[in-house]
A and B are shown apart, each in its own frame.
Chain A
């Protein structure tokens, strides 16, 4: 009985994760294709759906704990689902931020060709997808890899920032557009951070080991 309920809960979380992933990739795709409609859809259709899912999963978790009193692995799993639920909803919010900046940018001339931002978006969405794959398959190896890849995204963000500072110093008329690009890179970096959180939660869920804040190294 408890397994069946847990499966339902996991399925809901996977549904939420694929929605989060779609929101991030649509917000970037909208920017690259100058697709205003797709960007609007992220804000006015996908975001409300995400909010509803978050509440639904919160309730499912609360009921699960209240009715089935999970222990050990089952308890860790439901607690981590609660946290991932929060992180995924935040990723949805970040995608809305990206869409808003993108909507501004597609109405103005490009500061520079978009190269690093799509690369960053690819990395971040891949981290998200892999962290959820790790969750589905209890694959801690993959979860560790996701945590390590966070640095790639951080570096890309720093690189974008440096480059845009050069543009802004040379031509102040690019400042507003550059700030929007910086905001997008900052939001993508946050997507990667939250995906890392999810991966860390997967490791705790499967192994009962805390790896965030280098906790296990301190204990060792």
Chain B
């Protein structure tokens, strides 16, 4: 097994010739939670959207540099296959509105035209919902629409949908900023549980959340990674003056 699940090498990304992410390099170890924090517009979302090649979907988008997923160059992989291995959950929960809960969990298979036996499907749905701490709340209503759930439940459903594909990495882009504190706490607890089996990369501008849930934190500013270190170290004795100022609320 590769030492790092993900290696980002000198990555730049932008829109219409304007680089928003500049020469970013980062080694991501297996089964850890990595938080990427920084002020609005620092490039953190663009950065993680490169990891599952969602960035390229935007018209005028450009990207250069390398990203290796377990040693494999992602830009040479089929994007759909890549996205099965690198799941993503967004700020606003987005279950498929026409699908019921059961099908939502299986959406990755259904949309890819992968046929599964009934028992196999049942097993994946149950396991994924259990892993997303949602099973007990929805097991009696699996055939209801996912949009009937509360915001926090919908977000966990989206996490279950990603987990159903058994990804190596789960990208979370501000996954709790649209949720109330209780739902937020539940997602955070879920993250600490999930990292036992999957690497989590979490974008957040909530400093306290980065501190609570992540093992490593990267601080991005104006498209660059200013500092990437053990979270406890960064929050007690950051090396860079800009990180110190960001953490103490002087900007951002």
Interface residues of A (CB under 8 A from B): 1, 59, 62-63, 66-69
Task: Say yes or no: is B188 at the interface (Cβ < 8 Å to chain A).
Answer: yes
Choose from A59, A62, A66 the contact partner of B211 (Cβ within 8 Å): A66
Complex Cα–Cα for A68 and B214 (A): 12
> What 4 pairs between A and B have smallest CB-CB spacing?
A66-B235, A67-B211, A63-B232, A66-B236
Cα-based distance from A62 to B192 in the complex (angstroms): 21
Question: Is the CB of B212 closer than 8 A to any CB of chain A?
Answer: yes
Of chain A, the residue at the smallest CB distance from B233 is A63
* Nearest-Cβ distance from residue B247 to partner chain A, whole angstroms: 9
B192 cross-chain contacts in A, Cβ below 8 A? 1
| A1 pairs with B232, CB closer than 8 A | no
The answer to whether A62 touches B188 (Cβ under 8 A) is no
Assess whether B128 is interfacial by the CB under 8 Å rule.
no
Chain A CB within 8 A of B45 CB: no
On whether the beta carbons of B189 and A63 are closer than 8 Å, the reply is no
Q: Mark B202-220, 1 if CB is under 8 A from A, else 0.
A: 0000001001100000000
A62 contacts which chain B residues (CB < 8 A)? 236
Please name the residue on chain B nearest to A64 by beta carbon.
Answer: B232
Structural contact, B212 and A63, CB atoms closer than 8 A: no
Tally of A-B Cβ pairs under 8 angstroms: 22
What does DSSP make chain A's interface, helix, strand, loop or mixed?
helix
Alpha-carbon distance A8/B189, docked complex (angstroms): 18
B231 at interface, CB cutoff 8 A:
yes
Which chain B residue shows the least CB distance to A65? B236
Chain A residues with CB under 8 Å of B232's CB are 63, 66-67
Main secondary structure of the interface of B (DSSP, over half): helix
Considering only CB atoms, which chain B residue lies closest to A69 in the complex? B208
17 contacts between A and B (CB under 8 A): A1-B188, A1-B189, A1-B192, A1-B212, A59-B236, A63-B232, A63-B235, A63-B236, A66-B211, A66-B232, A66-B236, A67-B211, A67-B232, A67-B235, A68-B211, A69-B208, A69-B211
Q: Besides the contacts A1-B192, A63-B232, what 20 more A-B pairs have beta carbons closer than 8 Å?
A: A1-B188, A1-B189, A1-B212, A59-B236, A62-B236, A63-B235, A63-B236, A66-B211, A66-B232, A66-B235, A66-B236, A67-B211, A67-B212, A67-B231, A67-B232, A67-B235, A68-B211, A68-B212, A69-B208, A69-B211
B194 → A minimal CB distance (Å): 14
B231 cross-chain contacts in A, Cβ below 8 A: 67
| Closest-CB distance, A62 to chain B (whole angstroms) | 5
Q: Which residues of B contact A66 (CB under 8 A)?
A: 211, 232, 235-236
Q: Measured between alpha carbons, how far is A162 from B117 in the docked complex, in Å?
A: 91
Which residue of chain A has the shortest Cβ distance to B235 in the bound complex? A66
Specify which chain B residues have a CB less than 8 angstroms from the CB of A59 in the assembled complex: 236
Mask: chain B, 178-196; 1 = CB below 8 Å from A; 0 = not:
0000000000110010000
What's the least CB distance linking A70 to chain B, in Å?
11
* Residues on A with beta carbons closer than 8 Å to the beta carbon of B236: 59, 62-63, 66
Inter-chain CA distance A59–B233, complex, in Å, is 10
Chain B: minimal CB distance from A13 (Å): 19
**Chain B residues with Cβ under 8 A from A69's Cβ?**
208, 211
Q: Complex Cα distance A155/B192, Å? A: 54
Give the distance in Å from the alpha carbon of A68 to the alpha carbon of B192 in the complex: 14
| Residues of chain A within 8 A of B211, CB atoms compared | 66-69
Closest to B207 in A: A69
Residues from chain A with Cβ under 8 Å of B235 in the complex = 63, 66-67
Give CA–CA (A95, B61) in the complex, Å. 68
A7 to B189, CA, bound (A): 17
Of all chain A residues, the one with the shortest Cβ separation from B210 is A67
- The CA-CA distance from A116 to B236 in the complex, in Å, is 48
Closest Cβ of chain B: how far from A68's Cβ, in Å?
6
Which chain B positions have C-beta within 8 A of A63? 232, 235-236
With the chains together, A63 CA to B215 CA distance in Å? 12
- Measured in the bound complex, the distance between the Cα atoms of B231 and A13 in whole Å is 23
The docked-state distance in angstroms from the alpha carbon of A69 to that of B208 is 8
